[in-house]
Structure 1
Amino acid sequence: MTRFIQELVVILCLLCELILARNNFDVSPEAFQILATEVEKLSKLVEHQNGVINELQDKFKYQEIVNSELKDRLNQQERIIEELSAKLEKQYQQNKTQNSISTGPKTASKNSSSQYSSDQFKDAKHVRQGITRKRQSLSTTVAFFATITQRFEANLGIHQNLIFEDVLTNIGNGYNNHHGVFIVPVSGIYLLTSSLLSRPGEEYFAELVINGTPIARLNGRGVNGRHGTGTQTAIVFLNKGDDVAIQNYNQVDNFWGEKYSSFGGVLLQEYEANSVPSVVG
């Protein structure tokens, strides 16, 4: 049972006692109204928490879809390489047969062509075997997820890391909850996600940064005394040793904790360092 639900139960019990007490004692309407207002606020906070949980579940479902698509693309590339390899092998065998029955000056040319086809076939075979070995060896799993449990992070300076100190998942030991930094343990394609809640009636600006460079921003603004939520998801290639963090973007900002604000990531596909091509647009 979460802290909010526990508080809600306590308030409801007190409310019931007040209702019973009003039959025998004179309880001011103002005090009764204040208690009823607090119960309503706690109920809305619980509803908001359920909404945040649903958002995270949707994000992880999307992550599974992306992972499946990447696997399908890799399988398609393997099939293309196998087809090309088979064609090269067939051409090599044809050239070898022709060379065995031919004579004269053309022999040297055919031998050269045969040697070229043979080299192409060997290169394609090595590429295919390399991809297969890489896929078989990819048993590495990297995933982390952490939240802010204290009531709020207050008065953060510009470019200061948010510290998500409550670590729920840290497979690969890449996340440091003392500095709020994820140090990439293996190179590959990662899905990164963050959700931040503002203090009531306040606005914040934050950034998802890699090696100190911002790649995406978050914004949340609470109105009428309510909280505001900002979320961000990114799919990026990271090299081993890169550092990732969520930083404050304004001079002084405040962020609400109590597990409403979170930071996480997961390795979708491992690659060798600097082996993924740049984005083509």
Structure 2
Amino acid sequence: MARVKHEILLLLCLLCGHIYAQNNLDISPEAFQILVTQVENLSKLVEHQNGVINELQDKFKFQENLNNELMDRLDQQERIIEDLSYKLVEHDKHRSSNSIPTGPKTTSNNSASRQKDVKHLRQGIIRKRQNPSTTVAFFATITKAAEDNLGIHQNLIFEDVLTNIGNGYSNHHGVFTVPVSGIYLLTSSVLSRHGQEYWAEMVVNGSPIARLNGYGTDGRHATGTQTAIVFLNKGDDVAIQNYINVDSFWGDKYSSFGGVLLQEYEDNSPPAVIG
């Protein structure tokens, strides 16, 4: 960022030197001040862009850490299964050595059956880890200059789709329809029009789960962001909506909406909440 500012200031100095070097040209203090203001605004815009990039990098790093944590939990479950398998075998051996034979021996058969079941369970866990059954991810931005005068509870349309794995996002309605049940990471960043305030919310089936706000003061823009990690059922609808007032939003790729499947579940039963 410092390098960009330095290059901008250097460009300003060269431009001013070129102007004053021309004997047949003159520049008024007012015009020079306008030029300086424009360069300062450009520097602020570059600084804002760098901030957005850093924020996205932090989100992706958070997602990567979460995926690593899930992998660690799978490893822990596998170790627990191995330990239980060993204990079951030892328990059956102990019962077999201490029991009085009064009929057909079935203990060894039960032990072999249990070992077989545990082996199949372990193989299933390994296959699920190595070959994820489903990949879902989407990311879209608003490319036009502005979304103007949106009504209350009206969807923001992020029409420029960069990623849509699983084909769950519709850029005609601004809605992500969940293709498979599971834990999802959802994120949105929305920029206000200069000198204006907006209120928006992330909704699932019309009910808000998180809200965004941006208030551009002194003629400037302001960004509101949200990230949510939630369990979603297959068929749920997710969107970013305006609410409270009839508001306007800034596009030009500053406003975005995205999500990714972290863990798939075969049914519509969410995992237990601990805490």
TM bucket (normalised to shorter chain) is 0.7 to 0.9
C-alpha change, 1:279 and 1:215, in structure 2 (3 Å) is same
How is 1:45-194 mapped onto 2 (pairs within 5 angstroms)?
A: 45-99=45-99, 102-103=100-101, 124=118, 127-194=121-188
Contact in 2 for aligned 1:67/1:268 (Cα 8 Å): yes
The superposition leaves residues 231-267 of structure 1 with CA deviations (integer Å, 9 ceiling, x where unpaired) of 1111112222222111112221111111111111112
Q: Distance in 2 between matches of 1:52 and 1:95?
A: 65
**One-letter amino acid of the structure 2 residue matched with residue 220 of structure 1:** G
TM (normalized to structure 2)? 0.83
Cross-structure match for 1:258: 252
Match of 1:225 among 214, 219, 222: 219
Gaps of 5+ in 2: 1-7
Contact 2:20 2:26 (C-alpha < 8 Å) held by counterparts: no
Question: Which secondary structure does the structure 2 equivalent of 1:94 belong to?
Answer: helix
**Identity over aligned pairs, percent:** 72
Distance 1:165 1:103 in 2: 75
Structure 2 Cα separation of the partners of residues 116 and 277 of structure 1: 31
1:3-82 alignment runs, 5 A limit:
19=19, 23-82=23-82
What does 1:192-231 correspond to in 2, within 5 Å? 192-231=186-225
* Corresponding residue to 1:267 among 247, 261, 268: 261
Ranges in structure 1 where 5+ consecutive residues have no aligned partner: 1-7
TM-score by length of 1: 0.81
CA RMSD of aligned residues (A): 3.1
Distance 1:63 1:25 in 2: 57
Query: CA deviation digits over 1:102-145, x for unaligned, max 9?
Result: 245xx69x97x889878766665554444334334414322111
Which SS does the other structure have where 2:195 is aligned? Answer: coil
SS state of the match for residue 253, structure 2? Answer: coil
**Residue in 1 aligned with 2:232?**
238
Alignment-mate amino acid for residue 172 of structure 1: G
How far apart in 1 are the matches of 2:232 and 2:38?
46
Specify the code of the residue in structure 2 equivalent to 1:175.
Y
Distance 1:119 1:259 in 2: 59
